[in-house]
Chain A
Amino acid sequence: MATKSNTKYTLQRRKVVHRILEGRGDAAVVTGIGNAVHDVASANDDPKNMYLAGIMGGAAMVAFGVALAQPKRRILVITGDGELLAGIGSLATIGVEQPKNLSIIVIDNQAYGATGNQHTHTGRGVDLVGIAAASGFKKTALITTNAELQAELPRIHNKPGPYLAVVKVMSKSSARIDAPKDGTYVSRRFRAAVTGESA
């Protein structure tokens, strides 16, 4: 299959993530590996951020587990296309389970940004929005402009899910902003913040 270029996309990933997180309220955020960690940490190192800094394909299901345990709280996933593709079956499972409080935001640069920008499948015809819709997600969106992003914010934060949006972005990454790396620290901080108990 011919490779589709993503040079036509103009949104900048970090600005997109910051725009989304401005309205997070008391939402918990689970990130995927790589740039998603830096994008979220650069907005604010909130205790209710769980940075999955070293795993491919787990972010959506970790967030789903939190969503089941915390049904009154919104849970946001901020992850990349490569990370979600590595756990693509998760979309089928989440589509079946129908968590109303889960929103998945895929920052889609159509590349494995951390390993040298090799192509992912999303630049070669694989449609994550279509897969989510066909899996039973309540609402899905393809976002390529600021106006579209603005229009989707209520669905990302408030409307019943499960929700998935793919945001097509330029392949260029922003500067690395390191989040706390120690998994035991980040996870216990997160658990204490979302449950109100000391972990």
Chain B
Amino acid sequence: MARKKKTDWSKDVFKVLKKADVQQIAYVPDAGHTSLIKMAIADNVIKPVSLTSEQEGVAVLSGAWLGGEAGALLMQSSGVGNVINMLGMANECRFPLLMLVTMRGEWGEFNPWQVPMGQATEGVLEASGVIVHRVDEPSEIAETVEAAAKLAFEGGRMVAVLIGQRVVGFKDWTK
């Protein structure tokens, strides 16, 4: 099966984050977030924060809100397992939290080690009180992030956008 042609959804998502006045972007890299991370680093307002572990991201964005700024956390689905306990803080304090999660362990996954966490991602987020918006259509990613940002920052909730592996594409490091 031919790989889906990658559409450049990252630019539109970045525009949405800028419009939502996101000023801190914390991330643990994923191939699917490559463009967004580059744009965050190049932007002269956004403060990009690279993390050793995703749990730091929930903490730093909690601090961002406490200090009067909005932020977003970029990570891969495997990183969702690292944030669960820290989400308890965001939940208890009702911190707005916007997470953009690129999925592994599902559509066409070649690495069996990715499958357990990928399959558990949506369930553990919901069990932790996070509202989950899943998107598998590239043309719908930006509007989904826009809705999620509104729900997070204005609705005062923890919201995760799961970007399906079908969108991100098969991972093939041999090319």
A residues bordering B, Cβ < 8 Å? 30, 50, 52, 54-70, 87, 89-90, 92-93, 96-97, 183-184, 186-187, 190-191, 194-195, 197
Q: Select one of B56, B85, B94 contacting A90, CB under 8 A.
A: B56
Contact B92–A54 (Cβ < 8 Å): yes
Known: A58-B55, A92-B52, A197-B68. A187 touches B63 (CB 8 A): no
B126 contact set on A, CB distance < 8 A:
none
Contact A30–B68 (Cβ < 8 Å): no
Contact B59–A65 (Cβ < 8 Å): yes
The residue on B at minimum CB distance from A89 is: B52
Contact B24–A68 (Cβ < 8 Å): yes
Contact A68–B69 (Cβ < 8 Å): yes
Question: What 0/1 readout, one digit per residue, does chain B (132-173) give for beta carbons within 8 Å of chain A?
Answer: 000000000000000000000000000000000000000000
B89 contact set on A, CB distance < 8 A:
52, 54-55, 58, 62, 183
Query: B20 interface residue, CB < 8 Å from A?
Result: no
A63 contact set on B, CB distance < 8 A:
63
Number of interface residues of B (CB under 8 A): 31
B13 contact set on A, CB distance < 8 A:
none
A66 contact set on B, CB distance < 8 A:
63-64, 66-67
Most buried by B among A52, A66, A87, A194: A66
A187 contact set on B, CB distance < 8 A:
65-66, 93-95
Give the CA-CA distance A64 to B61 in the complex, in Å.
9
The residue on B at minimum CB distance from A192 is: B68
Query: B128 interface residue, CB < 8 Å from A?
Result: no
Known: A96-B50, A183-B93, A184-B93. A70 touches B68 (CB 8 A): yes
Question: What 0/1 readout, one digit per residue, does chain B (9-34) give for beta carbons within 8 Å of chain A?
Answer: 00000000000000110000000000
